[in-house]
Amino acid sequence: MTQTEPRSPAVRDGAYDVDPDFWREHSQISLQPVAAPSILGLYGFAGATFIVASNLAGWWGDGTSAVYLFPFAAFFGGVAQLLAGMWAYRARDGLATAMHGTWGAFWLGYGLLFLLVATHVLTVPTGAFVALGYWFIVLAAITWAGAAAAFFESVGLTAVLTLLAAGSTFAAIGYTLGESWAQTTAGWLFICSAVAAWYVATAMMLQGVRGTPVLPVGKRESASTSPLGLIQFRPGEPGVRHGQ
């Protein structure tokens, strides 16, 4: 019986022939598993959004509200979501990276803005607050795009981002034009988005602990049918899984 020598990639015209079997047999993948980053991101978003939105909707607050808003928004919303966005980047989840990163940066900026208000460096204008309105125009545009992308991932995440994008749209109208009804509507939509985010984060956490889905989120099957790459493992084999 003769022993078969391991195949090696042949050189042709200065380039290697593609030999997937050779590279699969001579490659290693080291796993560094992490928990789903969106659990932290969605909880951070839900908490910060609920506190700010309930104030915006008129549930609580007075002239001193900025003192209580900025630390919670900056740390619970900003830091938590920004960290989640960077971990989502590592998990190769482009949607979570974009949404957590964008909103995490926003909450840090929002917290800094109201820190300046609380320390009387800045004064919130009466009536229209055009500058803040333009913040929400940018957020609305990005979040509507995220809601469209979330349609291919899950019903729950689509609901979170659709309510959030709608709230951002009304906030943009309310702050830019000085319309209190639009600001109040934005507050209610943000509250609904926060509740939906809490539900989705809880569903993800329970699934992570138990190992099987507990609460339904309307997860969609992946439509990706990309061909096998040069050093990519086949479905079901060890490797780095896309997303969360």
pLDDT tens digits, residue range 219-238?
887 644 444 455 554 544 44
Mean pLDDT of 61-84: 90
pLDDT score, position 64: 84
Mean pLDDT of 138-154: 97
CA distances from 174 to 164, 195, 237 (A): 15, 22, 52
Does residue 80 have a pLDDT over 90? yes
- How far apart CA 78 and CA 37 sit, in angstroms, is 14
pLDDT score, position 121: 93
Reported as type and span, the H/E element at residue 198 is: helix 180-210
Mean pLDDT of 104-124: 93
- How far apart CA 189 and CA 201 sit, in angstroms, is 18
Domain boundary assignment for the chain: 37-210
